[in-house]
Amino acid sequence: MLENFSYSNPTKLYFGEDSLNYLNEELPKYGKGVLLVYGGGSIKKSGLYDKIVKILKSNGKEVFEDAGVMPNPTVEKLYEGCKRAKDNNVDLILAVGGGSVCDYAKAVSVSTYCDEDPWEKYFLRMEDVDNKIIPVGCVLTMVGTGSEMNGGSVITNHAAKLKIGHIFGDNVFPKFTILNPVFTYTVPQYQMVAGFFDIMSHVLEQYFSGEDDNTSDYIMEGLLKSLIHSSKIAVKNPTDYEARSNIMWTATWSLNTLIDKGKSTDWMVHMIGQSIGAYTDATHGMTLSAISMAYYRFIMPYGLHKFKRYAINVWNVNPEGKTDEQIAKEGLDQMEAYMKEISLVMSIKDLGVTEDMIDGIANGAFILEGGYKVLNHDEIVNVLKNSMI
């Protein structure tokens, strides 16, 4: 049975090779001042920066720049961005980049006019926004997080060794997002496959929970099959438009708030992965891949029926003559083989995690209760130790 829910998603998407042109339709809806937010320079190398500045200027915009948003944006950078947005009284924040740039833009959007410390209000105390919000638009260049069509914003505080995501309401979702698969062609292979696994993890976090018959589970099996199929093509040929466009669309649907409607969710891989990120600053998708096999092998007995279904419906395991455990295990073995095939990081050692960090990482992982097994501190430690292989 579906639990009760309300649903809306206000982000307008423009998808395809000509989608950047639609910036001309969106820009007139906002005032003159635009904060152009981007990362470490990939958009300058690719030529996208020049194209966007040209479109902004031709629409009469005054452009203020906020460059250097790092992967896993920090709280110090957030304070800097808020000052720039406020000093220039901007009317729109245009994020051009991956999940980090989009997340950061949303954080600046809600924090600029916040009269207390936004880290404390939004990320430690998880309070709602009750001040002015600056609208955000996105041009996505790296696929994985779903940030282009959700209210998520993840900020890292290195001093406190915490990486925390706030899921803001739909008043903070990007007003519009431009999705051109061609913009993702230049993403380095390591980042690209990390993004692929981020998508897979988003789906699995929402899939491995609940006992009810739920439409979402069928949608998720479809998303996973499409992702597995297209990702194998994309690692061999990163400029395969068909594969990259399908992956881009799959990423958006995997975390645009649709597929968790009416059901419970897990999200413990992300909680542990984020804590690894706070200690190592590792690439988000790789923090998830490095712990997933240890995590899922540990919880499999508690959600055996779902792991069996996953094996049969996603990995095409033939159930004939096998016990439920054998079927479920075969599914996870196939998942592991796929992860190795696309060159994901399979050990947290390869992310710089050392034995002495494990207790702190476990402490920094928020324990959520929606999965098949609510983990305690020692069980998180064990999952981490089993991810050190």
Q: Interface with Zn ion includes 260 (CB under 5 A)?
A: no
Closest contact distance (angstroms) between CB of 229 and ligand NZQ is 21
Shortest CB 260 distance to ligand NZQ, Å: 12
Range in contact with Zn ion (rule: CB under 5 A) among 36-44, 82-90, 195-203, 234-242: 195-203
In the bound complex, what is the minimum distance in angstroms from residue 5's beta carbon to Zn ion?
22
What are the start-end ranges of the E strands in the chain? 12-15, 33-38, 62-66, 92-97, 136-140, 152-157, 162-167, 176-179
Minimum distance of ligand NZQ from residue 155's CB (angstroms): 8
Look at residues 134, 99, 296 and name the one whose alpha carbon lies nearest to residue 205. Answer: 296
Question: What is the Cα 57 distance to its own chain's centre?
Answer: 31
Write down the least CB distance from residue 52 to ligand NZQ, Å: 13
176 within 8 A of 13, measured Cβ to Cβ: yes
Three-state DSSP state, 74: strand
**Selection from 168, 247, 199, 223 nearest residue 10 by Cα:** 168
Binder of residue 98, out of ligand NZQ, Zn ion, none (CB less than 5 to 8 A by kind): ligand NZQ
**Binding segment for Zn ion among 58-66, 129-137, 194-202, 325-333 (CB under 5 A)?**
194-202
- Cβ closer to ligand NZQ: 210 or 285? 285
CA 51 to chain centre: 26
* Residues forming the site for ligand NZQ (CB under 6 A): 39-43, 46, 71-72, 97-101, 103, 141-142, 144-147, 150, 152, 154, 165, 183-184, 186-187, 191, 195, 198, 255, 270, 284-285
Give 191 or 280: the residue with its C-beta nearer to ligand NZQ.
191
* Phi, psi (rounded to 5 degrees) for 166: -110, 130
141's contact among ligand NZQ, Zn ion, none, with CB below 5 to 8 A by partner kind, is ligand NZQ
Token pair of 389 as six digits: 């292989």
**Between 78 and 143, whose beta carbon lies closer to Zn ion?**
143
Query: In this complex, which beta carbon is closest to ligand NZQ, that of residue 66 or of residue 103?
Result: 103
Q: Tell me which of 26, 66, 103, 198 binds Zn ion, using CB under 5 A.
A: 198
* Distance in angstroms (rounded) separating the CA atoms of residues 311 and 74: 39
Query: What type of residue is 157?
Result: N
Pick from 278, 262, 292, 265: nearest CA to 363: 278
Site residues (CB under 5 A) for Zn ion? 198
